[in-house]
Amino acid sequence: MKKYGIAVVLILFAASCLAGPKKPDPAKFMPPAQSHGMTMTGYGCDKVAAGTSTVQSGGAYWSLIVWAQYGKEHKRYWQKTYSTYQVPLKHEVKSSGESAGSGGAIGAYGTESYDLSTLDSACTDWGAVVKSTLKIEPNADAKPQ
């Protein structure tokens, strides 16, 4: 019987690993409505590169930082790392133009771009929970002190 119990635990563990990373619960990242004696005036998200990107790894790690501002001066007294995501890296080679004689590319240069839509979606989900729970509109335009 003990062997079956161990087998069940191993199967459940393997299944949870194969399921991939779990999405964070936005409610667990709820900023306080007041901080330092001031009420919340706004909230938002920042995307921060959290790891190196290489073509071999196929992507880069980016962290989503959620924050809240308080008072008339919009001081950012609360912030947390919401989650870290592996974002696919797209590498392209472009050129500055074509040679008049041969028509071949000249001035070749490489560009890297990232699809940050996963972070944008997570920020939108978190903001919707904050807005519905605390009844506060986002104020991402205010400059933090």
- Domain residue spans of the chain: 25-134
Residue 108 burial (C-beta neighbours within 10 Å; 0-12, 13-18, 19+)? exposed
Say which amino acid occupies 87. Answer: V
Binned at pLDDT 50, 70 and 90, residue 55 comes out as low
Q: What is the pLDDT of residues 2-12, one digit of tens each?
A: 544 443 333 43
For residue 69, the tally of other CB atoms under 10 A from its CB is 26
- pLDDT attached to residue 136: 81
CB 10 within 8 A of CB 104: no
- pLDDT attached to residue 115: 87
pTM of the model: 0.67
Say which amino acid occupies 99. Answer: S
Higher per-residue pLDDT: 121 or 138: 121
- Asked if residue 46 has pLDDT above 80, the reply is yes
Q: What is the pLDDT of residues 57-110, one digit of tens each?
A: 667 899 999 999 999 888 999 999 999 998 887 777 777 776 666 767 677 777
Q: Return d(Cα 98, Cα 107) in angstroms, integer.
A: 9
